[in-house]
Amino acid sequence: MVGDGYSFVPGESPHPHAWSDEAVGAVGMLLRGLHDAAATFTPPADAAWQRNWLRDLGGDDIVIGHCDPGPWNIVGEHGRPDAFIDWEFAGPVDRLWELAETVWLNAQLVDDDVADMQGLPGPLTRARHARAIVDGYGLPRAARDDLVDRLADVAIHSARHEAVAAGVTVDSTAAIADNGYPVLWGITWRARSASWIARNRKMIRRVLLE
């Protein structure tokens, strides 16, 4: 045990590759376990949280979440998602917004040529991965339409955050930030994800509701 409530978790992330068909549903279970465990936690009245774009979206069902639930922040052994890492953005967040971001990033609902570059499965398989995550989370069928509608929104909000955080203006020319972060690509793949989700919304909705 390290510190108060922290421990070392062995393992690795599959990023940038896909979770396996057998493991991907456990991503939803992991997030649900976090939300359920945090439901008994009452933050101090003077608690201060690091600014986070997902938290800024607000919502009606606030829980304590991770707020950066991409596959790069989920590790485990034997290809399993066992634990979240990198908790610097943790704090209050709307439950469905965090689930939407988790589905988008871990089912890798990205544009098709981006998927090809990363060796990801085809659109239908990725939609089924989204379904597996939602099933693992235990989201009721009645809430799934709302979730589908949020998927493209969460991608475009993320793209906006990338642009704002990097200070992109009409005068910007650098594709790569001084720290080596690929700003242009970070904005681009997120915006293209939103477009892909919008174009494939009917298919995603059918798979999540079938």
Closest CA to 132 of 20, 17, 12, 13: 20
Mean pLDDT of the chain: 94
pTM of the model: 0.94
Is 112 within the bounds of a domain?
A: yes
Is 10 within the bounds of a domain?
A: no
* pLDDT of residue 5 exceeding 70: no
Total domains in the chain come to 1
Is 1 within the bounds of a domain?
A: no
The whole-angstrom separation of Cα 14 and Cα 60 is: 33
Closest CA to 126 of 15, 14, 20, 26: 20
Is 9 within the bounds of a domain?
A: no
CATH value at residue 40: 3.90.1200.10
The pLDDT of residue 72: 97
Read off the amino acid at residue 59. Answer: G
User: What tens digit of pLDDT does each residue of 6-54 get?
Assistant: 678 889 999 999 999 999 999 999 999 999 999 888 889 899 999 999 9
Is 20 within the bounds of a domain?
A: no
Is 94 within the bounds of a domain?
A: yes
Cβ(194)–Cβ(160) below 8 Å: no
Which domain covers residue 147, as residue numbers?
25-209
Is 7 within the bounds of a domain?
A: no
Q: What mean pLDDT is predicted for residues 113-133?
A: 98
User: What tens digit of pLDDT does each residue of 137-193 get?
Assistant: 999 999 999 999 999 999 999 999 999 998 999 989 889 888 988 999 999 999 999
Helices 95-106 & 123-137 angle (0-180, nearest 10): 140
Closest CA to 22 of 128, 105, 158, 102: 128
Is 3 within the bounds of a domain?
A: no
